[in-house]
Amino acid sequence: MPEDDYDDFNTNYHTTGDRLSQLDLVYFTSFVKASVGTVAHLALPLSEAGSVRGTISDAATLLPIPNAAVQATGGASPALTQTDASGTYTFSLPAGTYTMTASASRYLAQTVSGVVVSATITTTRDLLLSPAPHILFAPIINQRAP
């Protein structure tokens, strides 16, 4: 029977009369193999994954910045993580070249491009964030002329 003409309809499907003996096991085994093969093909092999880690610190004091957002772009979709209480972050990324951006409240964001992630070594990328300038607003006093 040609593949395009296969009818896998089972009138007893999900009824009390549904039995394994009514299935074409050769067909469904091939179907499962094709599905698993497709998923395996689309998945990233672990041997091609790498990691990036580092610390986000205050450029003025060199103290670590907890809860800073760190984003890596350049892969299939952006990866986002956050620093822990010690200002440290870790990414598990496919091998490749990335642009990393770190940001935190009351700091200017920093972007670094050309971060190479390799499957054989862990890339370390520490970033320093400069405090955002404080802007003071003076009240405007409405004065009337005499």
Q: Are strands 69-73 and 79-82 parallel, antiparallel or unpaired?
A: antiparallel
Domain ranges across the chain: 3-12+20-42, 46-129
Element (H, E) at 57: strand 49-58
Place of tokens 């990036």: 52
One-letter amino acid of 55: T
pLDDT tens over the chain, length 146 residues: 455 555 666 788 788 888 888 777 888 888 888 888 777 767 655 557 889 999 999 999 999 999 999 999 987 778 999 999 999 999 988 888 999 999 999 999 999 999 999 888 899 999 999 999 877 666 766 666 66
What pLDDT is recorded for position 104? 96
Q: Quote the longest CA-to-CA distance of the chain.
A: 103
Give the closest residue to 90 by CA, choosing from 118, 48, 56.
56
Say if pTM beats, i.e. exceeds, 0.75.
no
Q: What's the distance, Cα to Cα, between the start and end of the chain in Å?
A: 103
46-129: CATH topology is Immunoglobulin-like (2.60.40)
Give 120's contacts (C-beta < 8 A, 6+ positions apart).
50
One-letter amino acid of 77: S
CA 53/CA 130 separation, integer angstroms: 20
